[in-house]
Structure 1
Amino acid sequence: MASNSIEMLNPAKHSKLRVNTKSYNCEQNHVNAASVIINELSTVVHEYPIFITKNNNTGDFQLTAILGFSNGENLYLKGDSWQATYLPIDVLRRPFQLIRPDENSTAEGHIAVDMSSTQLQDKKGEMLFDDSGKPTAYLQRIQKMFSELLNGSEQTRTLLAKADEFGLIEPVTINIDLNDKESTSLNGLYAIKQKAVTELKGSALEECHNAGILQVCHLLLSSGIHFDKLIKWKNNLEK
């Protein structure tokens, strides 16, 4: 159910609205995870630990970048800056969201804006509409992002469902040791079952290769190294 602060984007109503794209330290970014699509996976694995989760509404598998170890903790935020050269599209599209009739609809939907976001201003930042009410170059980029998210989410869902059919996905719990013998755990995650990948043979191996599943498996397996960076950031915060 949409929040009272969510408004459908309207050139008449939001003609003076601006978005401060220089500051990422807003409530919407105080999250410990962000969705990732297949299209950006080869880039995000260089800076984020990526795991598989389940969509709360549909139960489908999806890709998720881990940003922190507890609810609301985003270790990539440092002041107003983001400690990575690449930001997932799911982060860049904020404070906007796509409103569709239902989760499974293939319709393009309509862009809405979260009016509670501190990124919104009326004097400084990127304008959404020009004087004639047409989308600015910035808003056109946002529209393109949502198109990429829609198409990429479907491709991601399809590929992960196929990987699951081959028995390549397993539930995992990530146990993390911090300073002073403190530890924490991340639950509700799924990962690539490396043993199952290495045991693929014949037609199954060929099908996974042709479908791009093998490449995704190797990318996901390689991304776990970034947990060391997050642990370091977490420990520095607590000093």
Structure 2
Amino acid sequence: MTGPVPLCPTAHGALRYDRHAAGATRRFVRIGLSELAFAAADMSLCLAKDGQTGRFNLIALMALVEPANLFVFGGGFQATYVPRAALLGGFRLHDGGVEGLAIDPADPTIGETGEPLFAQGAPTPLPGRVRTALTEVIADMQAAQALVDRYAALRLIRPLPLSLELAGGGEHDLAGLYTIDEAAMQALPDAALIALHRADALAPAAVMAASLAQTERLRQLHNARFTPAIDRVTLG
């Protein structure tokens, strides 16, 4: 299994970028602060711990038990919004590559179809656009990280038990997910709540909590394509 490699016209002159294949193999994806309300229109937004830092990341859940993105079928991403980290999953910033990029050859967006990365040995406008977009996404994720760190400092994060009842009597529990502790937030002193409001930190918490209802859509998407069917999703 190879990792990202610096973008090079000699090695990658024939490669193309197919945005319609974005996120096909991803069960969840990190999102930035500005994406929160858009992603919530389709996906459950929750938190997951970073295995290296121990900090919580803001993520959009795109699958339940299946090894696939439930929103990708019929030739594309079937949602009103596609998280930018999914769109750009085949690229990384790398000073040694053309336009400061590296590519992940294993990502489904990188291959023989789509928009060319090079034309006659020179980069097309695409790599430059991708670098700009990646820089913006990283900054947006850092903003989301700062918000989530604030919740964590106030002990406003709790585990999110998510249990699936499968047709035929089986069960499956999704571990490692977290969400906003609404009871803990309501118990905050007035001064702390006002500070969160002035920092625009209350509305994102409400959006995250409301988005958990989208697990029903994930259940429906699963049942349209996979067996055994999921009879019920229970959130704790």
- Regarding TM over 0.5, the answer is yes
Runs ≥4 in structure 1, deviation > 6 angstroms?
none
Match of 2:149 among 161, 167, 177: 161
Equivalent-residue separation in structure 1 for 2:69 and 2:146 (angstroms): 29
Specify the alignment match of 2:28 in structure 1. 33
Equivalent-residue separation in structure 2 for 1:77 and 1:83 (angstroms): 6
User: Could you tell me which amino acid in structure 1 is paired with residue 7 of structure 2?
Assistant: L
Mapping of residues 156-235 of structure 1, within 5 Å: 156-235=144-223
- 3-state DSSP of counterpart to 1:22: helix
Residues 98 and 146 of structure 1 are in contact (CA less than 8 Å); yes or no, is this contact kept in structure 2?
Answer: yes
Residues 168 and 196 of structure 1 are in contact (CA less than 8 Å); yes or no, is this contact kept in structure 2?
Answer: yes
Match of 1:91 among 71, 76, 86: 86
Specify the alignment match of 2:115 in structure 1. 126
Specify the alignment match of 1:21 in structure 2. 19
Alignment root-mean-square deviation, CA: 2.4
- 3-state DSSP of counterpart to 1:29: coil
Matched, 1:49 2:49: no
TM-score by length of 1: 0.83
Residues 44 and 86 of structure 1 are in contact (CA less than 8 Å); yes or no, is this contact kept in structure 2?
Answer: yes
Relative distance call for 1:98 and 1:56 in structure 2 (3 A) is farther
Relative distance call for 1:76 and 1:162 in structure 2 (3 A) is same
Equivalent-residue separation in structure 1 for 2:38 and 2:107 (angstroms): 27
TM-score by length of 2: 0.84
Residues 159 and 211 of structure 1 are in contact (CA less than 8 Å); yes or no, is this contact kept in structure 2?
Answer: no
User: Could you tell me which amino acid in structure 1 is paired with residue 101 of structure 2?
Assistant: I
Relative distance call for 1:118 and 1:188 in structure 2 (3 A) is closer
Specify the alignment match of 1:114 in structure 2. 104
Specify the alignment match of 1:8 in structure 2. 6
Equivalent-residue separation in structure 2 for 1:42 and 1:224 (angstroms): 13
- 3-state DSSP of counterpart to 2:208: helix
Offset, 1:157: 1.5
Offset, 1:111: 2.2
Equivalent-residue separation in structure 2 for 1:153 and 1:68 (angstroms): 21
User: Could you tell me which amino acid in structure 2 is paired with residue 86 of structure 1?
Assistant: Y
Offset, 1:30: 1.5
Equivalent-residue separation in structure 2 for 1:188 and 1:118 (angstroms): 26
Offset, 1:79: 3.7
Equivalent-residue separation in structure 1 for 2:119 and 2:198 (angstroms): 45
- 3-state DSSP of counterpart to 2:160: strand
Give unmatched runs, 5+ long, in structure 1: 101-108
Give unmatched runs, 5+ long, in structure 2: 230-236
Specify the alignment match of 1:104 in structure 2. none
Relative distance call for 1:183 and 1:200 in structure 2 (3 A) is same
- 3-state DSSP of counterpart to 1:84: coil
Relative distance call for 1:175 and 1:9 in structure 2 (3 A) is same
Offset, 1:222: 0.6
How many residues are paired up?
224
Deviations 1:76-125 (A, max 9, x none): 1224222202111111003223358xxxxxxxx94211223454345x42
Residues 161 and 175 of structure 2 are in contact (CA less than 8 Å); yes or no, is this contact kept in structure 1?
Answer: yes
Equivalent-residue separation in structure 1 for 2:79 and 2:143 (angstroms): 25
